[in-house]
Structure formats: C-alpha cells, structure tokens
Chain A
C-alpha cells in the first residue's frame, strides 16, 4: 500500500487526509467529529489538510487519503470538477456513508426543489469509472457509526488488511439496500433468522417476522444505506473471525 512507500521514502510521515463533500447532509463528516477526544489520539499520525467544514483552505492540496461523502450530482458542474480534482490529487479514495457508497437517500430524489430544481440525478462514487482505480474502500451506514470510522482509520494506519478487506467488497458493489438483503441473502437460502439486520437498520425499514423467521422489508422507508446487508453474518464473514 502507498502508506508503506510513504514511510520508506518520504520525510513527512504524517498521513495527509481530507474530507470532501458532494451531495449529502454532511452527517458523515459530523460522525467523524463524534469521535470526540479519540480524534486527538490520531493527530500525531494524521494531518487534516482539507475539509469544507473544518479548514479554511479553498485550494485542494495533494493528499494521501480522500474521504468523500455524498453522491455525485450529474447536473452540478462543481461536482464534476471536484471529482476530477480529487482523482488527480489523492492517492486513495474512501467513500464514506450511504450516499457516496450506494446512492443512499439520493436514489429517491426526483428534483424540482429550490434552490436547485434542476438537480435530480445522483450517482454513488462506486459507479464512477474515473475513480475506480483509486476508490478502494467504501464505508456503509447512514451515517456510519463514529466507532466504525475510528476503527477504520486505525486499521488504515496499522495496515490491518483483515479488517479492511470487507470494505473492499463493499466498494466493488454499487447498490445495497433492503432489496439486496432479500435478493442476496434471503432468496438464496442463506438467512438464518438472527435479526441482526433489524438492529442495523437506522430507519426501521426492516422488521422481523417471528413466524417465518425472516426479515420483513418496507421499501418506502429504506434509505439505501447498506447497513443491513453489511451487518448480516451471512452476507460475508470477516476472516479471521474476531475472538474475545
């Protein structure tokens, strides 16, 4: 990984990270801040070089890891320029949250809303060809849990591939919702009826049927965050299994 080369070759060992905002509610960046004092522990090894909320910089510097939240709006020229610039200036891109990873609630957008009524087409980063080589990890959740973001950053710094590997699976998938949980797990005969999907769902789109031992899915309340599919023990298992 690039971080290894950085340690060997560069004088400045601090990992330069940046947060970028496309079309989203900024909740993912707030989730990063929700790590509170734990952020301070990272500051010895990590330097925040760009963030639309946390730094005053207007120009994007060269950086190691770009954390991008939000879906790309096809009608917004600024987004098109920004994604090109992120691709040029960063070594690794991580999509954070449901909108950037799977489209999220933006999938339900129909446009015709002030102040930008023309904005109606949104696509997640995982579907953009330009950044496919650099987009290695996708973090699910709406918003992702702060402790998940902390563990992810820690794993990135420690090169813990066992932890990071499933985020690679998620990055290679451009859709994840309750529909996928049904088609990928339940329909294929892999649902064990444990109920983890119901706990993972932030909008209560999934409830549990005790009689048939399967999840019930309510499409109208699903925000396409992918949490259910990612939390399901049958969608994939982290190897080696964590033991405590």
Chain B
C-alpha cells in the first residue's frame, strides 16, 4: 500500500526555505529581481484585474501583482501569444501542477513544440489544494458562514488553509473545500507541484512564504538572486516542523482525493478513452501490498 509520507506528498526536493521579502510578496520580489537581472523576459501568471483573477503575460519588472487568491483558470491559453507572438525565450511560468503538466505536454502531440526546453526559463509551482470558481468561493463561504463575504486572501498556516475575508479570518475544513473544488481536482495526486523548479507556499504575513527548491535550475536562480540582492529576499532554512505541518495538511486533503478516486473506480464512471487505465492504475497501486516507483507510474 502507498504510504502517505513526505516523499509521496511533497516529492523530491533539495531544501525548503522560509522566505521574507523586503517589499511585496516573496514571489513578486523573486520575479522582479529575475526581470532586473535579465534572467527572464516574460512571466506567465495570474493577475487580478477588476476584482477578477485572470491569466496575464507580464513583460516588465514591477508589473506583477500577485493575486492573493490562489485560484484561476486558463493560464496556458496565453502560451502561444507569449512564445510565438512576443518571441519570448526566457519565460517564467507561475501556476499549479496541472498548468505545468499542460506545459510539459506541449512538446508532444498537437502542439509539438518543446517549449519547456526552448522557451521556459523557470517553472514555479503553486501549492494547490484544489481550484475553485468564483461562484464556488461564494457558495463555500455561504456554506461556512451563512452569509456572503468577499475573499481577500488565502494562505496556509499551521496545518490549516485559512481564508481572509472582508469580515475576518476563516479556517477552511478540507471536507468542505473538497465539495466545492473542480471535480478534476478531486482526483489530483500532485498537490505540491512536483516537476516544478520551485514550489511556492503562501503564508499568513504578506511578505512571507515558503520556497521548496526542487531542481538545480531553481537552486541556481535563488542563489544568484541572493548574491545580487541579499537584502530584498531573505531565505532561511525551514525547520522540520514547518515541513511536517505542510505534509499533515496535504495528507488530510489527499486522503479525500483518494476516496474520490476509489469511489469513481468502484462505481465504474467513465474515463477518457485514451487513458482508460489512469485511475484504475492508481487503484491497483493503492491496494497492492508492495509498490515501487509510484511517482513514474501514477503521475
């Protein structure tokens, strides 16, 4: 049986850092510094416009204002514009694991361009407990509070997902969140954006965050920025306690996801004809006594 331990939930990583920025959020500072140092020529991410989270292509330093709500759709729809219209060759992408999956697949079928290799300079993944529509957020807040509130921020603190609304802070129980997220997110087993260079976790204070450095490229980028502007982005090794609390939150959510997968397979709900074995493969792994190399198999 699969163990829901750190290596399963967080994946392979080099080191986790508690990050504090001088101005703005750590992720804003990271990208602004990268623009300044010419490490990137564009950034594909979500931005807030007229109160709505929309995908946006950022081309200059200082333009990126991180939406404090980590929910959004359609980021990859701007890929063609970024790479073919604007000819960007050092693009940074900041999105969830499914966005990075789509990006990884562009080299194959249909699109056929290996943009990950030729045009993407850095992939920053977002820790994601499930994507949710605007109305979904409204319904979730109505469910929990019995009245309409406006979501301002969402962050993770001490094993909890917390929504900051215009009326105060609110702990979000995972079972309730699970009900309102997209159905596809209920079958997701990659909440921590495996396959990214850096995974970013939003913390309570606006200028604090957690960087989980996964790849050599991520390590090199952060090291270079630290060297150039040590005062703007301060990194301190995150303690095991911090990592454990994150793992515990992910475990709680992934157990719900596994429940949904098992339900789906047992009822025999249809899956796409080209990956008919996708969830059943996981079901077999989950129920087998010994497993090896699950990362390659399932994800």
A44 to B80, CA, bound (A): 34
Interface of chain A residues 199 through 232 with chain B (CB within 8 A):
199-200, 208-214, 225-232
- Say yes or no: is B265 at the interface (Cβ < 8 Å to chain A): no
B111 touches A145 (CB 8 A): yes
A interface majority secondary structure: loop
What distance in Å separates the Cβ of A183 from its nearest Cβ neighbour in chain B? 9
Which residues does chain B contribute within 8 Å of A239, judged by CB atoms? 296-297
| Pick from A151, A209, A228: contact of B112, CB under 8 Å | A151
- Which residue of chain A has the shortest Cβ distance to B183 in the bound complex? A189
- Which residue of chain B has the shortest Cβ distance to A192 in the bound complex? B98
What distance in Å separates the Cβ of B13 from its nearest Cβ neighbour in chain A? 14
A236 touches B278 (CB 8 A): yes
B52 touches A210 (CB 8 A): yes
- Say yes or no: is B74 at the interface (Cβ < 8 Å to chain A): yes
Q: Given A188-B269, A194-B74, A239-B296: A166 and B108 within 8 A (CB)?
A: yes
- Say yes or no: is B134 at the interface (Cβ < 8 Å to chain A): yes
A222 to B271, CA, bound (A): 24
Which residues does chain B contribute within 8 Å of A209, judged by CB atoms? 73
- Which residue of chain B has the shortest Cβ distance to A149 in the bound complex? B112
A192 touches B185 (CB 8 A): yes
| Pick from A190, A211, A226: contact of B110, CB under 8 Å | A226
- Give the interface centre of B74, B183, B195, B269 by most chain A CB atoms within 10 Å: B74
9-residue interface stretch from A53-61, A112-120, A167-175: A167-175
Which residues does chain B contribute within 8 Å of A188, judged by CB atoms? 269-272
- Say yes or no: is B75 at the interface (Cβ < 8 Å to chain A): yes
- Say yes or no: is B105 at the interface (Cβ < 8 Å to chain A): yes
Which residues does chain A contribute within 8 Å of B269, judged by CB atoms? 188-189
Interface of chain B residues 196 through 236 with chain A (CB within 8 A):
none
Interface of chain B residues 256 through 299 with chain A (CB within 8 A):
269-275, 278, 296-297, 299
| Pick from A141, A196, A211, A214: contact of B106, CB under 8 Å | A196
What distance in Å separates the Cβ of B114 from its nearest Cβ neighbour in chain A? 7
- Say yes or no: is B78 at the interface (Cβ < 8 Å to chain A): yes
Q: Given A189-B183, A190-B272: A242 and B104 within 8 A (CB)?
A: yes
Interface of chain A residues 154 through 191 with chain B (CB within 8 A):
163, 166-167, 169-170, 173, 184-185, 188-191
A237 touches B105 (CB 8 A): yes
A230 touches B110 (CB 8 A): yes
B297 touches A200 (CB 8 A): no
Which residues does chain B contribute within 8 Å of A241, judged by CB atoms? 101, 104, 195, 296, 299
- Which residue of chain B has the shortest Cβ distance to A240 in the bound complex? B296
A193 touches B275 (CB 8 A): no
A120 to B106, CA, bound (A): 34
A195 touches B77 (CB 8 A): yes
B112 touches A141 (CB 8 A): yes
- Say yes or no: is B116 at the interface (Cβ < 8 Å to chain A): yes
B278 touches A213 (CB 8 A): no
- Say yes or no: is B165 at the interface (Cβ < 8 Å to chain A): no
| Pick from A151, A163, A192, A235: contact of B272, CB under 8 Å | A235
- Give the interface centre of B75, B104, B112, B187 by most chain A CB atoms within 10 Å: B112
What distance in Å separates the Cβ of A28 from its nearest Cβ neighbour in chain B? 12
Interface of chain B residues 92 through 148 with chain A (CB within 8 A):
95, 98-99, 101-114, 116-117, 131, 133-135
A233 touches B98 (CB 8 A): yes
Closest 9 CB pairs between A and B?
A: A148-B112, A145-B112, A195-B77, A230-B109, A196-B102, A227-B110, A195-B74, A213-B73, A189-B183
Given contacts A194-B76, A231-B111, A235-B272, 5 further A-B contacts (CB under 8 A): A192-B185, A199-B77, A200-B111, A231-B105, A233-B98
Point out residues on A near B: beta carbons under 8 Å: 139-141, 144-149, 151, 163, 166-167, 169-170, 173, 184-185, 188-196, 198-200, 208-214, 225-244
Point out residues on B near A: beta carbons under 8 Å: 52, 54-55, 73-80, 95, 98-99, 101-114, 116-117, 131, 133-135, 182-185, 187-188, 195, 269-275, 278, 296-297, 299
24 A-B residue pairs with Cβ-Cβ distance under 8 Å, sorted by A, are A151-B112, A173-B274, A185-B272, A188-B272, A190-B184, A190-B271, A190-B272, A192-B98, A192-B188, A194-B74, A195-B55, A198-B74, A200-B111, A208-B74, A213-B73, A213-B131, A213-B182, A229-B110, A231-B106, A234-B272, A236-B272, A237-B299, A241-B104, A244-B117
